[in-house]
Structure formats: C-alpha cells, structure tokens
Amino acid sequence: MNEERVIALAGVFQGAALAQQLATDGRCDDVAFESSLASVFRIDADSVASVYGGVSGVRRGLRTLVAQFEDETRDVAVMRMAITVLRLERSLARNRPVLDRLREGVVATQRQVEHFGMNHANVSARLAEVYASTLSTLKPRVMVTGTPSHLQQKANVDRVRSALLASARSAVLWHQLGGRQWQLLIYRKQCAMLARGLLTGSTLEGGG
C-alpha cells in the first residue's frame, strides 16, 4: 500500500460517505462533494492528488478511511457501499460498451460544467442520468439506504448518484494503481496510518 493508492481509495470512500450522508440527512459536505465531482472530469491529471485538486480534496475520504480501518465507530453502510463500488468497477472494466457509454456521458456533461459550473443542479442531474444508464445496469448494484423523504427528492437522488459515480471514478484509478480488494483486509493498519499522515500533511499545506 502506498500513498497514491491510499489517495485513490480515499476518493472511493469519500464518494460513498457523501452518498450516505445525502441519503440520510439530505445534505453533505459541499467542499468534498465538489472535489469528488471534479475528479470525474480530470482524466489526464498529472498526479493522483491533482485528480482531486490536491490531497485536501479528499480530506473527508481520508478521515472516513481512518474511521473505517482503525476506529470502533465503523459505518457499516459506507463500508458496504465502498466495497460494492470496487466490485462494480471490475464489472465495468469487463463491459466495453458500458464503459464507452460512460466515457461519452462524462464528456457530454463536461460541456454543462463549463456552462453552469460544477455545483449546478443540471450537472448533478446529468451525471445521475449517466450513472443510471451505465453503472446501474451492471452487477452488483449499489444499495443505498437512508431517510425515505430524502430518497424521494429527485435533486437529492441526483446528488447521491453523482457521488457514487465519483466513487466509481476513484475505483478505476485505485485499480490502475495496483489496488486490489484483498489489500483492504491485509493492509488495514498501514492504510489508516498513511491516511493519517496525508491528513496531517494536507492540514499543514492548507494551513487549516
């Protein structure tokens, strides 16, 4: 396990944590949400950290990793969602037509980002459509549980799906960097330690 892989894994967990927060509370950490969404469009970034606009872009994900791998306050729903996303990415990699459709959808949404800005509801709505027509058609399905009233609001569901799409984007990156699911069992302590170090570094770097 190395720092780059931990950053990508933090991206997976950040997307899952945001989706869970939106499903439960109907709102989420807007800064983390914007960083996660932006990562979907940064395909040719020159470093893993720059996919998220710097390590500070995945602070939420790094904190989630530490909580999941080290603390007793594990969030089972977030863990389950993250593992499902990692498995879903493997299904996606084996399905060329769906992968191509996903790429086309992201490219088309990029134009909306340029027009409306990353935080606009139209962007979340479009990414949610891309998710529904691609990743949702594959197995395993990501099961989202939360507060029924929040899961009945289209705008909120759009944001949940957008966060899951961002999580899957990080899962692609994690696998490209040599990440494998079995490593989550064997390197839990090392992963949490690296995540803590990255959190400390990003705090010093950002001065906050």
Give the list of residues 6+ apart from residue 47 with CB closer than 8 angstroms, or none.
none
- Pick out the chain residues at pLDDT < 70: 71, 205-208
Query: What pLDDT does 97 receive?
Result: 97
| Domain 3-200 indexed as CATH 1.10.3890.10 | yes
Closest CA to 52 of 30, 74, 67, 37: 37
- Torsion sign (Cα): 37, 38, 44, 50: negative
Alpha helices in the chain (DSSP H): 3-25, 30-41, 48-51, 59-69, 76-93, 96-116, 121-133, 148-151, 154-176, 183-186, 188-206
Q: How far apart are CA 198 and CA 192, in angstroms?
A: 10
Task: Please give the model's pTM, rounded to 2 decimal places.
Answer: 0.96
Query: What pLDDT does 8 receive?
Result: 98
Query: What pLDDT does 208 receive?
Result: 45
Give the list of residues 6+ apart from residue 69 with CB closer than 8 angstroms, or none.
188, 189, 191, 192, 195
